[in-house]
Structure 1
Amino acid sequence: MINSTAGLDDTDVAIGAVRAGAEAVRARYGQRLTRMDKGAGDFATDADVAAEEAILGVIRAARPEDAVLGEEGGRRGAADAVRQWLVDPLCGTLNYAVGNMLVAVNVALRNAALLNGPAAVADPFSGEVFFTDGDAAWVRRDDGDTRLAPTAATRLVDVNLDPPFPSAPGFRAVDLLTHPGFVERFRPRVVSTTLALAWVAAGKRAAYVTDGGDLTGSVHFAAGIALCRAAGCVVTGVDGAPIGQGEQDGQAGRGLVAAADAETHGLLMSMIRSRGVEAGAANS
């Protein structure tokens, strides 16, 4: 927790916020959880709510004039605020609820004046905090900060298979797993937490793929995308278009392909496009 907010820059605030959220998540792990149904099989728990309140406490103390968009509490603050904090207090709620530690706490600052802003992702159980000031990215451990260095050496690619599937039938992530070139080159991992995006930035994963709309404004994905960009990863939509730059005219890339390097990104895009051509032919 942050004891004093005096003199903190935005990166410090993001780090303090995710640490506060991670502390709340750890404190409730393994306890009996109250579930709040969101519909379509989705739910939150009292741990999600407690983590979000802990995060909001840090942000409110340090930046009382800023707006906040939280997954559980929704929008708070002025609707026309230039600065807005995107908060996902517990990404991987289902994992957490069944006793799986693959979860993340995400916070990102969205500033209308900046394309890339400060963000942080905490792994509550490893104690690692991945963060960026918008220009470079690091991981903070007990022994200090280390610059993130993406690499495709692991050949591990995380693929998000959670619905919805807005790009089907042209693109379905599950089809990527059956592509001959994919299984020859990569080893798939299937997760349901955006901790995997931090792993791409840190060199623990070669890439991450998910469907969806423009995810740069999503409380789930904004922090991970910011980390990958600052670390030097190649980041586009599943359609190959830039993400986050065309949202005003509807031209922003859909979904997300975040790869450690250009070669990995190019290989994945070629596989995605070939599957899209096959799907189009099958439906013509």
Structure 2
Amino acid sequence: MPPVSSRLSPAMQVVTSAVRKAGRRLLRDFGEVEQLQVSVKGPSDFVSSADLRAEQTLKEELSRARPNFAFLMEESGESGNADWEWRWVVDPLDGTTNFLHGIPHWAISVGIEKRIDADRTEIMAGVIYNPASDELFWAEKGVGAFLNDRRLRVSGRREMRDAVFATGIPFASVPRKAEFSSILHRVMPHVAGVRRFGAAALDLAWVAAGRYEGFWELGLKKWDIAAGLVMVKEAGGFSTDPEGGDPYATGNVVAGNQFLQPKLRDVVAEGIAAVKAHQAG
């Protein structure tokens, strides 16, 4: 097990312990992926018995350590005090389709959200853990972003032609498919490459690590992005929605370094606008 920094706060020590425990269970199931009980939630969106067991493990471990924290979890939704001050935002298995096909690119994502006032919250910390590679990405406000014990910084590349971007391909919404095609058509001629690996949490972690210059995807859920957004920020990057607003509120994310995030955001916004204009006309 790679070392984890002594900079970890008590709350983050709780999270890293919980995700490693859930990760061990997921790895056992990953080794027997063909025998999993699988039910269909929707097109290309599966939930497995492994997913549910991981969520239960995380809820038990986190509740034991912080009984006053509320939860927002992918499978079981919201629970705990409705007037929460602190909340765990949990995706127990991001990249479920990869997991079920034996592709070792999936992760556990846990964000720590604080209520600032009646209308505002802030993600204060996050952990994204890929048990298959034993890479534990973590970040905490004011402390920085790390991979195990190594400090992370976003890529320093400045030119679109040198950039590799990540994205997610939509599967359910026809309008969103049109938007994706429109955006991709505008991005591809100007960049070194576009990657789609199927786990938004890891995409954001990899932006923080400088492996990608940026990432965009529309229609994400809070548990997909909570940990990743604080990770990108603490690694020196930026995340907005295509209009420059809060991606945590809208679920539409454009993330990247200081040089390329504004350029990518403009291209994404142009692609969306073109589809809306076509539909209106």
In structure 2, runs of 5+ residues without a counterpart are 2-7
The equivalent position to 1:187 in structure 2, one of 183, 190, 193, is 193
The amino acid of 1:255's aligned partner reads N
- Alignment correspondent of 1:83: 86
Match of 1:157 in 2: 165
Aligned residue number for residue 4 of structure 1: none
Check conservation: 1:116, 1:226, Cα contact below 8 A: yes
Shift of 1:140: 4.1
**Deviations 1:111-152 (CA, angstroms, capped at 9, x unpaired):** 1036231210001111111111222333343xxx11111105
Q: 1:255 aligns with which of 244, 252, 257?
A: 252
Distance 1:87 1:278, change over 3 A: closer
For the 8 Å contact 2:138–2:145, the answer to whether it is kept is: yes
C-alpha spacing 1:124/1:277, structure 2 compared with 1 (3 Å): same
Q: Which residue of 1 aligns with 2:132?
A: 125
- Counterpart of 2:237, as a letter, is C
1:34 to 1:122, Cα distance in 2 relative to 1, 3 A:
same
For residue 224 of structure 1, what is the aligned residue in structure 2? 228
Distance 1:99 1:59, change over 3 A: same
Alignment of 1:9-20 (within 5 A): 9-20=10-21
Q: Please tell me whether the aligned partners of residues 241 and 254 of structure 1 are also in contact (alpha carbons under 8 angstroms).
A: no
Distance 2:17 2:163 in 1: 32
Distance in 2 separating the partners of 1:38 and 1:58: 26
1:241 pairs with 2:238:
no
Asked whether the 8 Å contact 1:239–1:253 carries over to 2, the reply is: no
User: Could you tell me which residue of structure 1 aligns to residue 5 of structure 2?
Assistant: none
Q: 1:196 to 1:54 in 2, by over 3 A?
A: same
Higher helix proportion (structure 1 or 2) = 2
The 1:225–1:165 alpha-carbon spacing in structure 2 relative to 1, beyond 3 Å, is: farther
TM-score if structure 2 supplies the norm length?
0.84
2:51 aligned counterpart, secondary structure: helix
Do 2:71 and 2:88's aligned partners in 1 also have CA atoms closer than 8 Å? yes
Change (3 A) 1:99 1:275: same
Distance, in Å, in 2 between the alignment partners of 1:140 and 1:41 is 30
Question: What's 1:56 paired with?
Answer: 59
TM-score by length of 1: 0.83
Following TM superposition, by how much is the alpha carbon of 1:165 offset from its aligned partner in structure 2, in angstroms? 4.7
Q: In 2 relative to 1, CA 136–162 (structure 1 residues): closer, same or farther, beyond 3 Å?
A: farther
- Unpaired stretches in structure 1, ≥5 consecutive residues: 2-6, 245-251
Q: Which amino acid aligns with 1:271?
A: V
Identity %: 25
The answer to whether the 8 A contact 2:123-2:227 is kept is no
What is the DSSP-based 3-state SS (H/G/I as helix, E as strand, rest coil) of the residue aligned with 2:105? Answer: coil
Query: Counterparts of 2:20 and 2:63 in 1: how far apart (Å)?
Result: 15
Deviation at 1:231, TM superposition (A): 1.4
Is the contact between residue 119 and residue 134 of structure 1 (CA under 8 Å) also seen in structure 2? no
Q: How far has the Cα of 1:62 moved from its partner? A: 0.8
